[in-house]
Structure 1
Amino acid sequence: MKNLILLLLVSLVLQSCFSNSNPPINTLGGWYTLTSVSSDTPVDLNNDGVRSADFLKELTARYYTPTQSTSLSMFTPTGSLYNAEIRPHTSNQTTYPSIDFNFPHQSIDSTSLANRTYFLHFYQPVFEGFTYEIQKDRSIKLIDKLPTNKEKIGTVTHLERINSNSFELTIDKKVFDFADKRWKTAHLKAIYLRKAF
């Protein structure tokens, strides 16, 4: 009887060890599209003179040239250039877990110093070169592997899974506000939704 109890205890301990050693299954992989971006600081990204806390609406609104005579479409969230890619996934089976958020960042230029007029060249994708670890509590630990000029761009501070097809990204980011004609830091929350291919 003692041997049976001892054998039962040993098997329970071994089963507990094996179940704790299994890493969480990684179902993050795939392509994701921006569906919303909100800002704690209302900004004017499209040079129309109106600030908004709806950052995605500002991005997708037509951009007004410095003379206000014409407007241009500068950003489309459905364009593949700005899709976030989390690897490994079905079309990229690298074993190394990595993330490129490809978040849009303003490339701003200006005319001569005597008559300073700022204008938007284009949006460039930033926040690339992350890796990640899925913790035992299913939270995601982000690790920034590539050196970037954080003073000019900003930092990604947190990634949280919403459900199996979406996640929320928290960013402290430098943005150019055309209403103030200067760079400022905005605290952004971006929602990404898995994109079907």
Structure 2
Amino acid sequence: MNARFDRIGIGRFAGSGERLARAVTIASVSFGRSLLWLLAAIIVGCGIWMLLPLSKGHSTEPVKSDVATVEPPAPSDTGMAVSPVTQAQAPASAELDRLKISSQTWRRGGLGSKALVTFTLRNDNDYAVKDLEIVCAFARRDGSHLTDRSRVLADTVNMKSRKTFARVAVGFINVNADQAKCALVAARRA
């Protein structure tokens, strides 16, 4: 019985064995080349990864914040506030107590990873202000703090007026962020 199948296989498929051998050889060569390219890409990627510095999040040392905290100035004997800024910077800064964010809302943008903040800024000063710096604090639904993002806006708000800033991209936020509270940190006279 085996003899019959051998004769049928030899007679009918005589040239297919050579074609099959060539196809297997070509496939194995191209697979081998692909495997070599993959290995080379892995080696290069690991080499680059080893050259990158360690991130602050994975070290055992306490992380120092890059953001400086600003303490309110103490009043002096004359009743005027003592400012830590030099005389050259003093005329350029604006009084923040007369600048208020009157309304604010936020939503997600960029497939849910970016925060877009809409707020109205009221300027009660007798001069226009520019280079407004805002800081937005994001929190979970239960109120626990997640992250802070800041942004400097180069727009000008005229004196005794208000201006609405619509959908300002503040930055990337955590997916668990549910609440946002923005505050004005700095501004300059225009």
Alignment TM-score, normalising by the size of structure 2:
0.23
Structure with larger Rg: 2
Q: Which structure shows the bigger proportion of residues in helix conformation?
A: 2
Q: Which of the two has greater strand per residue?
A: 1
TM-score calculated relative to the size of structure 1: 0.22
